[in-house]
Amino acid sequence: MKDGAGFGVIAITEGSETGLPARTYGTGTVATIVDFDRGNDCLLNIVIRGDGRFRLLTRSIQDDNLLLCHVRYLDDVARLSIPEAFQYLADLLQEIVSNAEVVLIPGPAPSTASQLVYGLAQFLPLTLAAKVRLLEIDNPLNLLKRMSIDVRRLAATSR
């Protein structure tokens, strides 16, 4: 990881991060460390960026309980500019980011469907299963539709 190589991040369905190997979802994110520092608590704080998606093919457990996986990298979601019908999602993300109490890595506003959806998924209280479901969608219009459904569901439950 010191040389900037990516690493896999995959959500746990059952078990925990320590001890015996956990069960995981079948799709994950290729991540890269973009910043790190040592916090006041002496713990290492890292900031990562998702750079791609992968599908888990096989997994094996070493004697030290380290989980090793073979994966297939998934193609990037096709680039689709954000259609006007989904502009409200871009407005929602902008509202969230402008009020966020976290340090964000500066960058341009999302210009594609996948950038928008993955940006929202970072902040919305979606379940892990819902976030993984988003990662599994290859069609950008379907990705926007799924996020729209999730946002409407969240809005309905907050009333």
Of the options 2.30.130.40, 1.10.443.10, 3.40.190.10, 2.60.40.1120, the CATH number for the domain spanning 7-74: 2.30.130.40
Cα 35 from Cα 33, distance rounded (Å): 6
pTM: 0.84
Segment 119-149, tens digit of pLDDT: 999 999 999 999 999 999 999 999 999 999 9
Domain extents in the chain: 7-74, 84-157
Segment 78-120, tens digit of pLDDT: 999 999 999 999 999 999 988 887 766 667 788 999 999 999 9
Residues 6+ apart with CB under 8 A from 21: 15, 61, 65, 66, 67
Of the options 1.20.58, 1.10.3470, 3.30.310, 1.20.1630, the CATH number for the domain spanning 84-157: 1.20.58
